[in-house]
Chains A and B, each alone.
Chain A
């Protein structure tokens, strides 16, 4: 349509206003994308989980242990193809602020269940041989400047005392969503010291990880496992790894809900910003629209002008927002990577931001557009500016 030539001329009429509107849109789209990415980060653990892994924990709470002896009983079940276990260590490295996830694991069986942790064969061999060996993720090693061979001391909180380790391996993630900020030490190291110091706490694990042959039988398998230990001293709660991870998100659900609300409020704000601009614009141009109608332009042309202009503004604002999202989210991912090891900007988030911007561009115009089309020519002409 030849009338669209007018669109760009109209859009640049009040340069400052258009510029500020575009800037507002861009900031809103960027905020939206960053917030959505933060929400995704909470779910990163769940998204990275494997459908054929079940997690068995104490039915009362995660902080209560299970006897290691349960292993034999679970292992024997049909459909179980692997089992391992882990215990949360929770030690302090130099300063309590240096928080990171520490698990005591059964080396061989655990790493077999987690093929997404990629470790050089030599390093893995050493880890399996030495009691106080530790494997850490690449991100964690970078955070503290650790390299293979470094001796590290942690101060136990759950398991009191000084604990000395040697970094023997650094793993990298197979997927982008793999958590590269974990510390894996050997369960034997922990358990032997418990046997010596507090025998009552030996032979206990925080969770079992059970590999099953058929993910579609996960619910059934979980029920079977839990039924074995019903009425025992430590009843179990078995769930898929995803459900287990989501239960952590659930603990923070009010934060996540808050973020979601904010992300929609941001969209609402873009809508207001643009609606305000377009309403101002439409008001100023009432008499111009009336003149165009007098010349024979029909409602479709007027609508083309109005929607065209706001789509141009919304489109540029959305694109600009996406462009600034990249550096901002990169920066943010560095700042918060200790707590959100996986902070990844998804294409879908950007697409939603762009679609939201365009949608807002259309919605913001409905009212001014209806008004412009419906105002009789004689009314429009009577308004003298």
Chain B
């Protein structure tokens, strides 16, 4: 078996409501080799988003260890973590979460503002990312001028524009019609095949999950093979 790229070791996660502990994830162990395409499935409330957030370094486990590409994510400081995220993670949200005041170009450019790239380099990279998702002709459009599927493709362009090795998508098709959902999954699949991105996608939809090589099932906080 190839070396793991994403590794979770004995990860537990609970939320606290005042003094009440809400356990969400129990003893999760997960190994994802580089270049894999994993679908994470499970009923609503089973902890899929929580798990993805831990891998993305936007939340911390209660115990256990999360590492990505050998970096122990759970041990980084807040600001180191922010910097790490900007270089290593592309995140795709269920509701696209584009900035409504920015057009497609500017939305995709946003993560590049944190880099040292100059305006011309940024432009080139944004155009590349938008043409990968097939929206090079929609650069000047604002989110409210795009369909849901187009918005999600812009969001995917935003996730890949910094060329991260890991792309995490939380129910990226959850809010889309069948046709658009198909296109989005196809796009993720292409990113995996053509650009060798490691992809972990959370989804309800078994049809969507078929695109992935590995399907894992989360139920009541426990992770199972399918």
Contacts and interface: CB of A to CB of B under 8 A. Distances in A.
Contacts of B146: none
Given A288-B99, A291-B93, A376-B59, A297 B114 contact: yes
A6 B101 contact: yes
A287 interface: yes
B190 interface: no
The A contact surface, by secondary structure, is helix
Interface residues of A, number: 22
B97 A287 contact: yes
A5 B91 CA distance: 23
B35 interface: no
Chain B contact patch, size range? 20 to 34
A381 interface: yes
B76 interface: no
B5 interface: no
Contacts of A378: 50, 53, 58-59
A296 interface: yes
B85 A295 contact: yes
A283 to B, nearest CB: 15
Nearest to A8: B101
B56 interface: yes
A353 B84 CA distance: 44
A294 interface: yes
A195 interface: no
Nearest to A1: B113
Contacts of B187: none
B83 interface: yes
A298 B80 CA distance: 10
A296 B85 contact: yes
A128 interface: no
A2 B59 contact: no
A113 B69 CA distance: 90
Contact of B101 (A3, A13, A287, A377): A13
A6 B56 contact: no
B82 A293 contact: yes
Chain B contact residues, majority secondary structure: helix
Contact of A295 (B79, B95, B106, B110): B110
Contacts of A377: 53, 58-59
A3 B59 contact: no
B111 A384 contact: no
A49 interface: no
A298 B111 CA distance: 12
Given A291-B93, A381-B93, A296 B114 contact: yes
B102 A9 contact: yes
B58 A294 contact: yes
A10 interface: yes
Contacts of A13: 100-101
B86 interface: yes
Contacts of A10: 101
A200 B105 CA distance: 95
Interface in B89-139: 91, 93, 95, 97, 99-102, 106, 110-111, 113-114
B99 A296 contact: no
Nearest to A288: B99
A270 to B, nearest CB: 26
Contact of A2 (B56, B87, B101, B113): B113
A294 B101 contact: no
Given A295-B110, A297-B82, A297-B114, A6 B102 contact: yes
A312 to B, nearest CB: 14
24 contacts: A6-B101, A6-B102, A9-B102, A287-B97, A288-B97, A291-B93, A293-B58, A293-B82, A294-B58, A295-B91, A295-B110, A295-B111, A295-B158, A296-B82, A296-B84, A296-B85, A296-B86, A296-B87, A377-B59, A378-B50, A378-B53, A378-B58, A378-B59, A381-B58
Given A295-B111, A296-B83, A378-B59, 4 more contacts: A10-B101, A294-B91, A381-B93, A384-B95
A-B CB proximity, top 10 nearest: A296-B86, A9-B101, A377-B58, A2-B113, A291-B97, A296-B85, A295-B111, A378-B59, A298-B82, A296-B82
